[in-house]
Chains A and B, each alone.
Chain A
Amino acid sequence: MYNFDFVKPTSLAEAVKAMAKEDAQALGGGQTLIPTLKQRLASPAVLVSLSGIAEMKGVCVGDDGALCIGGGTTHATVAKEAAGKFPALAALAAGIGDPAVRNRGTIGGSLANNDPSACYPSAVLATGATIITNTRKIAADDFFEGLFTTALEPGEIITEVRFPVPERGAYAKFQQPASRFALTGAFVAKYGSGVRVAITGASENGVFRWTAAEKALSANFSAGALDGLSVASDSLIGDLHGTPAYRANLVKVMTRRAVAAS
């Protein structure tokens, strides 16, 4: 690590102020950022911890029925507190990392980081959730901009995520054997208005919607509806853990399993 200053505000307003300093960076659960600092791959001047801000934590249900999760809420809390209202999301959170990671890592941190293999982005995109920051509301379809890039401006803080709860939905994750992030994961969400499918872990451009599957499933919500479909492997990731063709297969298999499980 390089040296940095550390502040731990107790309100969002203070945090916003602290983030205005030069080279300030938000610290959520630190599950991504701390290892990055240890490897000296980042050198913020000030770390602004969000973990002391009560107003950014917790799970509740909004007037419109949406599930609202504070940006500083840990995966473990989501796993516990979303279980009744949105079990698919709770199960996703329960499947992230290990207990230590789940007790520190936050939804805001995960989304801001937008790791192409992370789990949450698929839930956010498949449900058409809204990301709320200290300055604005961002629709899921506008938020994810590719590998580790999002629509967030420098200094912008994710304060809340609002999920429209689907009638049926599930997340099916195939673990990468080493990291146990998603080698490929599929989130399927069925609403009265149609079905949305988001795929994580597979694409070189990060999380994406599988529109062909959405169309087929909107017409017939069953695993069999996917039978004739396939995903082109051109822009899929090829690495030590799987070829693009293998990932293309997983996209389909995991989507089928998500439908079957929902």
Chain B
Amino acid sequence: MPKDHGIGASSKRREDVRFLTGKGRYTDDINLRGQTHAVFVRSQVAHGKIRKIDTSDAEAMPGVIKVFTAADFDGKGGVPCGWQIHDRAGNPMLEPKHPILAEGKVRYVGDAVACVVAETLAEARDAAEAVVVDIEELPAVVDMKAAVKGGALVHDDLGSNLCYDWGFIEDNKAATDEAFKTAHHVTTLELVNNRLIPNAMEPRVAIGDYSQAGDDYTLYTTSQNPHVIRLLMGAFVLSIPEHKLRVVAPDVGGGFGSKIFHYIEEAFVTHASKVVNRPVKWTCSRSESFMTDAHGRDHVTKIELALDKDGHFQAIRTETYANMGAYLSTFAPSVPTYLHGTLMAGNYKTPHIYVNVKAVFTNTVPVDAYRGAGRPEATYQLERVIDKAAREMGIDPIEIRRRNFVGKDEFPYQTPVAVQYDTGNYQATMDKLVEIADIAGFERRRAESAKKGLLRGLGVNCYIEACGIAPSNLVGQLGARAGLYESATVRVNATGGLVVMTGSHSHGQGHETAFPQVISEMIGIPENMIEVVHGDTANTPMGMGTYGSRSLAVGGSAMVKATNKIIAKAKKIAAHLMEASEGDIELKDGKFSVAGTDKSVDWGAVCLAAYVPHNYPLESLEPGLEETAFYDPSNFTYPAGAYACEVEVDPETGKVTVCSFAAADDFGNIVNPMIVSGQVHGGLAQGIGQAMLEAAAYDGNGQLLSGSYMDYAMPRADDVPFYKVDHSCQTPCTHNPLGVKGCGEAGAIGSPPAVVNAVIDALQHGGHNVTHIDMPVSPSRVWSAING
């Protein structure tokens, strides 16, 4: 019987009642008394010198309160970067200032030059059109390789467009090079990990609200991590002490990484609200979000794989150009480095690995973490080159992977790229995949497709990711400028219901459902006695927010720790009430009992005693039942899996149809299987979107060609098949109390190579000598490859 509550139950997502009935309260739903509206004047050229900004006409227009330019932010900081990388020689990365409004130069189409604050949105828009910006256009750098070969400088003061040239691990380089010299076979692949635009359903919004009465500020914003925004903006940009700054991120309609970062608009509205002494609201239009939300991916890579005659991996060497865009977004430098290089071992035993990454400034929107962040880039190149090697050497793609897996008895496994995998069983996940994908029946399906004139292909790959981010002391050594623990306060009320105040933030993940399941299991009270509060720095403990599939593994662990403290204290109270010794108290199904007796007292009675302490050990125990815990993980978690995709290619048009997709994942223990399946489904859609449809494209002048849904293809329901997902292979994480690994990014990380591998399989089997097609594998690209 499947469980109907607690850990392992598919409890229905309680937050969906509000989301599906239009009762969610998003930032744009907040309207404050006396609110004004901000509209940004944005650069229409990718690169240029600002000669003059004339705001006089705009300022004279109806309803205009003030037109801001960079001069209004004199003495304020730029938005900071949260991670510092050191290059191969040990020098710190080049780090430009990212001003709130452009100072002297514009550096991408969409760069904010000025901002109008007016009584109404329409008046602000009218006035924004009347701001005259005189820009001397400069040549733009868009192509990364050109940018490092002496193209125009994005930041003149830095003297170079190369942010850093990073080697990982530099000490591995010589041995890796040596292994290539003696290898039996070397497979080389050059590929592009296509640039993506996140497209959260809810565009970004920010409302600044300064109160003269208290000389304090509130920022309402669409954020995945309100405490991080408070810290970065307060300490580095506006010099507002944290006790004078409250950041609220209410319901947030999807983030996918793009709402982790501290954006200039947040700092703008916060500061401007003090200047105009009224609330200032900015709501991003969809067109604006295409050109201002941090983009994702955008790597150009050459990967080489050395093998012995039996297909055993000997060494991996990569060279990647990673686009940073025009400025360093909050976590941008960490994505192509520590979230990417550390995953290059994949699920395999490869003795020598060396990763080189060159991060490059270009006149494009800043690039930062996007669902998977670095790990999809690692997985894609590795799983594509393995597939290519298998085909070159005539080894079955599944077999070559099995030959190289880290064995289930070899954990903990230390990779050559710094991380240590705690648990896993890759053969078992592959066995499960072979079963659910009906690999045995593939040739029959291929023959059926052929009857319709279609080429069918099968693509398989594995993935591993490091999530549950992250041990603070470790990431500190790697350049993180923040800790990555998580926090929880568990507040029990007098009548036994409780509230968890978590530093994690839910923007679609279902925390309001899953977190109570854990506490329900621990205490034995119904889930509906437990409420989750998140998203407001005023009523949650300092936490680092949600990204990197970390909420349950890190935030959930903090909550378990706090709940354990609650239980320990409650046992003391129960012992007192039953005049027993604390060590004999057992908690089961919401009841405290004395071991070996029939004496018991209810959870509710203990809670009441804590707050109405008439019969209570006041001399040794404080009243009340509220505990806070911080949890800092000792390692990353390592979800892993094996994915299979079948496609049909229409050789006449090049159109690819994804016929089936199967995902066998090992997420360790599972709290809510339905939510986990949903997370995998969404991730797969995103990964299939990247593989088949999505591409942020710029022309040579830095104009965004895919600036709307007319040209940027998002996956729709009929672009994806009904998925087969399975998460019954479980090797629990060894170092967090729940044994969970995280499931939020897996689908997006693991699916792109399966799709492309399947397309290549279809074409090669159909007699076409095609070894690689860059994503998205659009009809025209496939047709061109066939007819190339």
Contact = CB atoms under 8 A, between A and B. Distances in A.
19 contacts: A40-B125, A174-B655, A177-B713, A177-B778, A177-B779, A178-B706, A178-B713, A178-B714, A179-B709, A179-B710, A240-B695, A240-B697, A240-B705, A240-B706, A241-B780, A246-B779, A246-B783, A246-B784, A253-B652
Contacts of A241: 711, 778, 780
Interface string B704-718: 011001111110000
Interface string A232-259: 0000000011110110011001000000
A193 interface: no
B578 interface: no
Contacts of B581: none
A183 B287 CA distance: 23
Contact of B783 (A40, A179, A240, A249): A249
A40 B126 CA distance: 10
Contacts, number: 49
Nearest to A38: B285
Interface in A6-58: 39-40
A242 B781 CA distance: 8
Nearest to B125: A40
Interface in A165-200: 174, 177-179, 183
B393 interface: no
Nearest to A117: B710
Interface string A123-144: 0000000000000000000000
Contacts of A179: 709-711
A261 to B, nearest CB: 14
A177 B697 CA distance: 15
Contacts of B692: 177
A243 B784 contact: yes
B780 A242 contact: yes
Highest count of chain B CB atoms <10 Å: which of A179, A183, A246, A249: A246
A83 B526 CA distance: 56
Contact of A178 (B129, B655, B712, B783): B712
Interface of A: 39-40, 174, 177-179, 183, 240-243, 245-246, 249-250, 253
A246 B780 CA distance: 6
B412 to A, nearest CB: 44
A177 B654 CA distance: 12
B720 to A, nearest CB: 13
Interface residues of B, number: 26
Contacts of A240: 695, 697, 705-706, 711
B694 to A, nearest CB: 9
Q: Which 7 A-B pairs have the closest CB atoms?
A: A178-B713, A242-B780, A177-B713, A246-B780, A179-B710, A253-B652, A178-B711
Interface string B772-788: 00001011100110010
B653 A174 contact: yes
Interface string B688-732: 000011010100000001100111111000000000000000000
Contacts of B693: 177-178
B713 A242 contact: no
A13 B656 CA distance: 51
B706 A250 contact: no
Given A240-B697, A250-B653, A253-B653, A178 B780 contact: no
A202 to B, nearest CB: 12
Nearest to A246: B780
Contacts of A39: 287
Question: Binding site of B, secondary structure by majority: helix, strand, loop or mixed?
Answer: loop
Contacts of A246: 654, 779-780, 783-784
Given A178-B710, A240-B705, 15 more contacts: A39-B287, A178-B706, A178-B711, A178-B712, A178-B713, A178-B714, A240-B706, A240-B711, A241-B778, A241-B780, A245-B784, A246-B780, A249-B652, A250-B653, A253-B652
A3 B521 CA distance: 59
A185 to B, nearest CB: 12
Contacts of B784: 243, 245-246
A40 B130 CA distance: 14
Given A178-B712, A179-B711, A242 B779 contact: yes
Nearest to A179: B710
B709 A178 contact: yes
Contacts of B654: 246
Interface in B420-464: none
Nearest to A250: B653
Contacts of A174: 653, 655, 779
Nearest to A183: B779
Interface string B114-149: 000000000001000100000000000000000000
Interface in B605-653: 652-653
A116 to B, nearest CB: 13
Interface in B146-164: none
Contacts of A250: 653
Highest count of chain A CB atoms <10 Å: which of B129, B778, B779, B780: B780
A228 to B, nearest CB: 17
A156 B781 CA distance: 42
Given A178-B693, A250-B653, A243 B710 contact: no
Contacts of A178: 693, 706, 709-714
Nearest to B706: A240
Contacts of A243: 780, 784
Contacts of A177: 692-693, 713, 776, 778-779
A253 B779 CA distance: 13
Highest count of chain A CB atoms <10 Å: which of B653, B712, B776: B653
A39 B708 CA distance: 12
Contacts of A249: 652-653, 783, 787
A128 to B, nearest CB: 28
A203 B705 CA distance: 19
B206 to A, nearest CB: 21
A250 B697 CA distance: 23
A42 B582 CA distance: 77
B6 to A, nearest CB: 42
Contacts of B779: 174, 177, 183, 242, 246
Interface in B87-127: 125
A39 B784 CA distance: 35
Nearest to B782: A246
A2 to B, nearest CB: 8
A242 B693 CA distance: 13
A249 B788 CA distance: 13
Interface string B347-385: 000000000000000000000000000000000000000
Interface in B646-677: 652-655
A177 B693 CA distance: 7
Contacts of A242: 779-780
A132 to B, nearest CB: 31
A35 to B, nearest CB: 9
Contacts of A40: 125, 129
B127 to A, nearest CB: 13
B690 to A, nearest CB: 13
Nearest to B697: A240
Interface in B749-788: 776, 778-780, 783-784, 787
B657 to A, nearest CB: 12
A178 B129 CA distance: 30
Nearest to A257: B652
Contacts of B787: 249
A95 B787 CA distance: 29
Nearest to A2: B126
A200 B693 CA distance: 22
A256 B654 CA distance: 16
Contacts of B780: 241-243, 246
Highest count of chain A CB atoms <10 Å: which of B129, B705, B783, B787: B783
Nearest to B695: A240
B468 to A, nearest CB: 36
Contacts of A253: 652-653
A13 B710 CA distance: 36
Nearest to B693: A177
